Amino acid sequence: MHIFIFIFLSLINIPQPTEKIDNNKKVTDNTRGWFIQETGIGQAILDIFFIDSLNGWAVEKYGKIIHTSDGGYSWERQYCREQRRLYTIGFRNNSEGWAGGSKSEYGFDFYVLLLHTIDAGSTWIELKSNNPPLYNWIKDISIPNTTCGYYLQCFYYFCEVSSSIYNIVTGNCEISWWIPEAMCGEKIHFIDSLCGWYLSTAFRGDSQCYLFSTQTGPENLNLIDSFSISIKNIFFVDSLKGWIVGESGTILHTEDAGTTWVTQLSGINNTLNGIDFVDSLNGWIVGEGGVILRTRDGGEHWTTESSPVNSTLHQVCFTDTSHGWVAGSGGVVLCYSPHVGLQELLNNMILQIYPNPFNILTSIKYTLKKDSKVTLRIYNVLGQEIKVLLDTFKHSGFHQVVWDGRDDSDIAVPAGVYFLKFDTGEYTTTKKLLKVR
């Protein structure tokens, strides 16, 4: 069969999976930057967590957990339940982790959802909650080391809001606020069992954001500052140095645990959602419009990195300066690599197909580094063109098209082997598709 396919590929001049690069464009085998990884899901990925350069997990908003053990080159689905919402995930070692969100009915978050695994996610167990079943959800998880961790839970009951911080290891509630017209917790960040910060917004009334901190455990959180803009995230590298990010490209930095803040210039107006540092100098921020910012000097200078997408990015996670990932809308996971082989880049990153093999539908995702004329054509093993999926001009960035397994006459094609030819003028490749019954 393989010999048969090879002969027909040669006769009909469909290129086998290889690259064609413009000779006037210098391309080396030292390509570096951000590249799309295929996740197999299509909704927003709100949080991503890597314990090392190979093992990572991510949560999709509508109740899915995916896992990789090879740095993201392949992802597998570990958990998928209807009427679930997942917002956050964290692990304290290679085996034990938690994911948080809510169980929903009729589009509303009714029950708190806390998932726990002790086998790296092969099985996820729903932990029981003693809270009443009305508008109850987990917003954030912070696990600073292998011995401790906390999760932030919000509970709305008529006109009252409770924001509670629980010890994720013991299950004990460390602190809880019950105040009418109260503030609703958004984010927590702890660097050890005692030192941490808590970000909240006013549930009703003003539009302020409030920042609390503690040096002696969650039960002793104290208000230290408020902000008139929407703050989306916080990150501290030690007990003194930290950053907060938010709307209109806001980046604020402190070196006194949050008592005073100074503005760092982002150079953009996009809302910034996620932030991560691996040390006091090297950090990354992501946000709306596919924005990725990078600093190598603690934020004195932020530079915009080239992003393969223009959709909203929600969170970023780095294990060291060479290995990082970003989670975003549309099931997007981006991977940073300081050195990617050209063949690997072209064959694995520019064009991705999932699922393959497929039964009814398959999704074709591709990334353009610049505005290009793009054609996507389907051929059968006889070399006959059966479907033109795309033949138009496209702007740079991330794109997606779906093939429903039908030809240009809208007739379902039989199960078997097909070939997708992708051509931008400067780059051409062909990939095999397998339709199954």
pLDDT by residue for the chain (437 residues), tens digit each? 444 444 344 434 433 333 332 322 222 333 458 888 878 888 999 999 999 988 999 999 999 999 988 888 778 899 998 889 999 999 999 999 999 998 876 656 568 899 999 999 999 999 876 555 556 789 999 999 999 999 998 876 655 667 888 898 887 877 665 443 456 778 999 999 999 999 988 655 567 888 999 999 988 888 999 999 899 999 999 999 999 999 999 999 999 999 999 999 999 999 999 999 999 999 999 999 999 999 999 999 999 999 989 999 999 999 999 899 999 999 999 999 765 444 444 444 467 787 888 888 888 888 777 788 999 999 999 999 999 999 999 887 778 899 999 999 999 999 999 999 999 888 888 888 999 88
Tell the residue number behind the tokens 């064609």, with chain if given. Answer: 20
Q: What gap in Å lies between CA 112 and CA 126, rounded to an integer?
A: 10
Tell the residue number behind the tokens 């990789």, with chain if given. Answer: 68
273 touches 245 (CB < 8 A): yes
Task: Summarize pLDDT for 34-86 with one digit per residue, the tens.
Answer: 888 878 888 999 999 999 988 999 999 999 999 988 888 778 899 998 889 99
| DSSP reduced 3-state for 405 | coil
Domains of the chain: 2-29+352-435 (2.60.40.4070), 31-340 (2.130.10.10)
Read off φ and ψ for residue 82, nearest 5 degrees. Answer: -70, 155
- Residues forming beta bridges with residue 233, ordered by sequence position: 245
* Cis geometry, peptide bond prior to residue 132 (ω within 30 degrees of 0): no
Q: What's the pTM value of the predicted model, to 2 decimals?
A: 0.71
351 touches 370 (CB < 8 A): no
DSSP secondary structure, 229-241, as one string = S-EEEEEESSSS-
